[in-house]
Amino acid sequence: MKAGPSQEEVRQHNLGALLRHVHYEGPTSRAVLAAGLGLNRSTILGLVGDLAAAGLVREELPQETGRAGRPSLVVSPEPARAHVLALDVGVERLSAALVGLGGVFLDRREHPWPDGPPQDPAEVAALLAGPAREMLARTPDGSTCVGVAAAVRGLVRHPDGLVGLTPNMGWKGVDLAGALTDRLRPDVPVLVANEANLGALAEHRRGIGRGSRNLVYLHGEIGIGAGVITAGELLRGERGYAGEIGHMTVNPHQGRPCGCGARGCLEAEAGERALLEAAGRDGRSTGSEAVRAVVTAADLGDVAARAALHRVGDWLGIGIANLANLFDPDLVVLGGTLRDVFLGSAAQVRSRINTNALAAVREQLRLRVSELGDDTVLIGAAELAFSEVLARPLETLARLSAR
Amino acid sequence: MKAGPSQEEVRQHNLGALLRHVHYEGPTSRAVLAAGLGLNRSTILGLVGDLAAAGLVREELPQETGRAGRPSLVVSPEPARAHVLALDVGVERLSAALVGLGGVFLDRREHPWPDGPPQDPAEVAALLAGPAREMLARTPDGSTCVGVAAAVRGLVRHPDGLVGLTPNMGWKGVDLAGALTDRLRPDVPVLVANEANLGALAEHRRGIGRGSRNLVYLHGEIGIGAGVITAGELLRGERGYAGEIGHMTVNPHQGRPCGCGARGCLEAEAGERALLEAAGRDGRSTGSEAVRAVVTAADLGDVAARAALHRVGDWLGIGIANLANLFDPDLVVLGGTLRDVFLGSAAQVRSRINTNALAAVREQLRLRVSELGDDTVLIGAAELAFSEVLARPLETLARLSAR
């Protein structure tokens, strides 16, 4: 029951709203900004002036419109004024990107780890720090680093980013943010978040979930995680652990054992290992290529691969039906290796949803695969890193430029 | 990306924040209000003056404090200035209450229906209208009716309140709000909501969930429903259907058939009918007394009753573990007949949660039974009905008093 904001807080809010608009929508005319933000044109003029003076936006002539008359200026985000560092500690590789305002990828590096990620957090921090420092050294003159964020596969406590558990890397209680801060010494706090939450953020802000206020993003790699957007906001829960759909029990008595110690969790029934074993593949070779090979084999008529996709699609459908009944989303987005799994088992998934989700929740539910491809999580990390400057643009920039 | 509020919007917001504070917390000194709302004392003075002039609050001497010196005035809500009508279309009875500001029950009526609720919505509206009109005719002089809300067991579309499906009453697409408006002709819109969502609201605002920002309320009657509070707000989903935990599939292959057409839904495994049948009771006689009889029999050593509670507690634990993994709440509240079921099966429920919920989410999870008793849903309906006046007190009152 907090009191409402002061005049100055309102102005900061409006600066942030305008910057967010052009960050996500790209070049926008003042008239459209006024309509979109519900402000009059003179207020917009003042806000644009302040942001332009700080170098965060520029005004320019639009692309040729083909219409007669003097074209109206458009406001664009300035990617060379503020940038973030986005890091993704993946199962198959480490990815790092330097991303400018507006979501422009200015630079990127990949570091594959064919034998899986290092078990030692310090080694991961060292591997992250190398390309990060290289990229930061080559940022445009006059550009300020406004955020650093890293994605990990596991439970991440909110808001301090302590990595509680990463089943596939054996981490428990790891302060990755601290290790990165020690090596990079950035002027901003290093944020750490769960990969599926960042995937949901990316799809909601820049992917197929734009415009949706209630979506579930399902990310498949070795495990299955979910990021949930409800009423336009990321669902975090009390400690930041919400969305652990991989450990939703769907088959308690006859189920396969799960890494978490329980039996019949969704990821035990519908995860990569379940698919590869059901298809008669060597259970030790997992990963996106192994999954894709099963889907391709099924397309070519491989009976075991088809049966495996049918079986996994059935469990995936049960999982999505449960999410639909619990969250009533209008959109479920499948990302990571679940893209391929879904494309190979869509009929079975939909059939199960038709049986197990209530008619009212499934009737207008859309199922889609991620359009951001392998960059979903990295894009989400960049958006998390931008959140401070997008909330309080001038304050943030003034604070960081003064250092 | 809406712009921030105007000065006048901020003032309306602050009036609402102050009224909500005393509505929920009761008599509060100006100093505590200033601290709680983050406003200075002169602003508080102005807000209290405006609300007092409208008759919504009064200032008075506090109860004897035992401390020396001139006691500071406290601000109290005025239950005789604004009231709401709360209605609950239950499985065993119809309940209606006239509730004054501050949550004071001014009057209440019960209408048991031993043979279950009428199937005809018009008949339900007629039965609700009788006691409602009687109570409204006897409201205090000068009191304004600021809201009417009704709870139903079933899917309710948000925000229009269309009752999509009530499995136990055979309704589908019923405009109960319209039927009540026709009979009562109130000056305010009639709101209709799902019983578990209202239970969650009640527990969060006035029950054991006060102070929690992430809680799940589980309501048991014939079915099982959930109301979820995340980050302090009721989770609604895209159409208002979120929280249908009763139809979360937990036993897809060997499960009992469910009224929804699927198999192995949580309410098919852990609902009243499952309990009574497992205990060897006549499956047709359900309800709170039948459930309580099983729990009492188990206490007295009835082997079948004990086994039934063990079995149902096991499924309930799986359901709660799934909710914990998905929502990461700090509190799960059991209400309706689940209060008794939980008291008779707590060990089994907890044991299952220990196996099936991730350690990080279960470690600080509290399980509690509702303290609001049989009134939980009715109190939630009253709080929903108060929401308009608590958001914009003076605007709402001025509009309604002008009629």
**8 Å CB contact between A86 and A190:** no
Q: Mean per-residue pLDDT for B177-193?
A: 94
Give the pLDDT of residue A282: 76
A254/B249 touch (CB, cutoff 8 Å), yes or no: no
Q: Mean per-residue pLDDT for A15-20?
A: 97
Q: Mean per-residue pLDDT for B297-322?
A: 98
Tell me the shortest Cα–Cα distance from B268 to chain A, in angstroms. Answer: 13
Distance between CA atoms of residues B189 and B146, nearest Å: 9
- Short-list B124, B228, B139, CA closest to B182: B124
Distance between CA atoms of residues B359 and A167, nearest Å: 12
Residue A235, classed as helix, strand or coil, is coil
- B237 vs A233, A261, A328: nearest CB: A328
Tell me the shortest Cα–Cα distance from B129 to chain A, in angstroms. Answer: 29
A195: Cβ–Cβ under 8 A, 6 or more apart, which residues?
A88, A90, A151, A152, A153, A219, A221, A225, A377, A380
| Helix ranges restricted to H, A357-392 | 359-362, 376-391
C-alpha dihedral (A352, A357, A358, A364), degrees to nearest 10: -90
Distance between CA atoms of residues B16 and B19, nearest Å: 5
Q: Mean per-residue pLDDT for A260-286?
A: 90
Residue A19, classed as helix, strand or coil, is helix
Distance between CA atoms of residues A339 and A78, nearest Å: 33
Tokens of B199: 């239970």
Which of A227-236, B120-129, B209-218 has the least mean pLDDT? B120-129
Distance between CA atoms of residues B399 and B403, nearest Å: 7
Give the pLDDT of residue A6: 81
pLDDT in tens, B22-47: 999 999 999 999 999 999 999 999 99
**8 Å CB contact between A224 and A248:** no
Give the pLDDT of residue A98: 97
Amino acid code (one letter) for A147: G
Tell me the shortest Cα–Cα distance from A255 to chain B, in angstroms. Answer: 10
Q: How confident is the model at residue A401 (pLDDT cuts 50, 70, 90)?
A: confident
CA distances from A40 to A13, A16, A49 (A): 15, 16, 14
Q: Mean per-residue pLDDT for A291-301?
A: 97
Amino acid code (one letter) for A196: A
Q: Mean per-residue pLDDT for B292-317?
A: 97
Of the two residues A35 and B168, the one the predictor is more confident about is A35
Q: How confident is the model at residue B106 (pLDDT cuts 50, 70, 90)?
A: very high
Using an 8 Å CB-CB cutoff, list chain A residues near B355: 261-262
A294: Cβ–Cβ under 8 A, 6 or more apart, which residues?
A275, A276, A279, A281, A302, A305, A308, A309, A344
Give the pLDDT of residue B1: 57
- Short-list A377, A290, A305, CA closest to A114: A290
Q: Is the pLDDT of residue A1 over 60?
A: no
Maximum Cα–Cα distance across chain B: 72
Give the pLDDT of residue A7: 83
Strands A215-220 and A331-336: parallel
B273: Cβ–Cβ under 8 A, 6 or more apart, which residues?
B222, B283, B286
For A289-313, give the DSSP string. HHHHHHHHHHHTT-HHHHHHHHHHH
- Taking each helix axis from N to C end, the angle separating B376-391 and B195-206, rounded to the nearest 10 degrees, works out to 70
For B353-366, give the DSSP string. HHHHS-HHHHTT-E
- Short-list A159, A228, A229, A237, CA closest to B329: A237
| Averaged pLDDT of chain A | 93
Say which residue the tokens 């894009």 belong to: A379
- B328 vs A5, A230, A241: nearest CB: A241
Strands B144-152 and B82-89: parallel
Give the pLDDT of residue A118: 85
Distance between CA atoms of residues B77 and B99, nearest Å: 12
Q: Is the pLDDT of residue B191 over 80?
A: yes
Give the pLDDT of residue B91: 86
Distance between CA atoms of residues A83 and B72, nearest Å: 53
**8 Å CB contact between A114 and A157:** no
**8 Å CB contact between A140 and A80:** yes
B78: Cβ–Cβ under 8 A, 6 or more apart, which residues?
B55, B56, B57, B58, B100, B101, B102
Phi, then psi, of B69 in degrees rounded to 5? 95, 170
Q: How confident is the model at residue A150 (pLDDT cuts 50, 70, 90)?
A: very high
A328/B238 touch (CB, cutoff 8 Å), yes or no: yes
Which of A194-208, B57-71, B286-300, B358-372 has the least mean pLDDT? B57-71
Domains of chain B, each with CATH number or no CATH: 7-77 (1.10.10.10), 82-198+376-401 (3.30.420.40), 210-370 (3.30.420.40)
Tell me the shortest Cα–Cα distance from B200 to chain A, in angstroms. Answer: 15
Give the pLDDT of residue A116: 78
Q: Is the pLDDT of residue A202 over 70?
A: yes
Phi, then psi, of A400 in degrees rounded to 5? -80, -35
pLDDT in tens, A365-385: 999 999 998 999 999 999 999
Distance between CA atoms of residues B213 and B229, nearest Å: 7
pLDDT in tens, A311-325: 999 999 999 999 999
Return the exposure string of B169-179: e unless at least 16 CB atoms fall within 10 Å of the residue's CB, then b.
bebeebbbbbb
Amino acid code (one letter) for B221: E
Q: Is the pLDDT of residue B286 over 90?
A: no
pLDDT in tens, B55-100: 999 998 887 666 667 777 899 999 999 999 999 999 889 999 999 9
**8 Å CB contact between A228 and A242:** yes
Of the two residues A349 and A65, the one the predictor is more confident about is A349
A245/B330 touch (CB, cutoff 8 Å), yes or no: no
CB pairs under 8 A between A and B: 202
Tokens of B341: 């079921």
A360/B239 touch (CB, cutoff 8 Å), yes or no: yes
Of the two residues A73 and B190, the one the predictor is more confident about is B190
Is the bond into B159 cis (omega within 30 degrees of 0)? yes
Tokens of A244: 């652990």
Q: Is the pLDDT of residue A11 over 80?
A: yes
**8 Å CB contact between A394 and A50:** yes
Give the pLDDT of residue B205: 97
Give the pLDDT of residue B27: 96
Among residues 22-61 of chain B, which lie with CB inside 8 Å of chain A?
36-39, 43
Amino acid code (one letter) for B247: H
| Averaged pLDDT of chain B | 93
CA distances from A75 to A45, A69, A103, A261, B187 (A): 10, 19, 15, 54, 47
Distance between CA atoms of residues A287 and B76, nearest Å: 63
Among residues 133-192 of chain B, which lie with CB inside 8 Å of chain A?
155, 157, 164-165
Give the pLDDT of residue A66: 66
Tokens of A94: 């480490």
Which of A365-374, B112-121, B219-228, B350-359 has the least mean pLDDT? B112-121
Give the pLDDT of residue B67: 66
Q: Is the pLDDT of residue B19 over 70?
A: yes
In B160-263 the beta strands, taken as DSSP E runs, fall at 163-165, 190-194, 215-220, 224-230, 233-234
pLDDT in tens, B133-154: 999 999 989 999 999 999 999 9
State the best of B15, B162, B238 to mutate against chain A, taking most chain A CBs within 10 Å.
Answer: B238
**8 Å CB contact between A222 and A170:** no
CA distances from B90 to B94, B181, B348 (A): 6, 20, 29
Distance between CA atoms of residues B134 and A198, nearest Å: 55
A356/B262 touch (CB, cutoff 8 Å), yes or no: yes
Q: Mean per-residue pLDDT for A257-284?
A: 92
Q: How confident is the model at residue B114 (pLDDT cuts 50, 70, 90)?
A: confident
Q: Is the pLDDT of residue B403 over 70?
A: no
Q: How confident is the model at residue A403 (pLDDT cuts 50, 70, 90)?
A: low
Distance between CA atoms of residues A216 and A224, nearest Å: 12
Return the exposure string of A172-193: e unless at least 16 CB atoms fall within 10 Å of the residue's CB, then b.
eebbbbbbbbebbebebbbbbb
Which of A3-12, B151-160, B215-224 has the least mean pLDDT? A3-12
Exposed, middle or buried: residue A201 (CB in 10 Å: 0-12, 13-18, 19+)?
buried
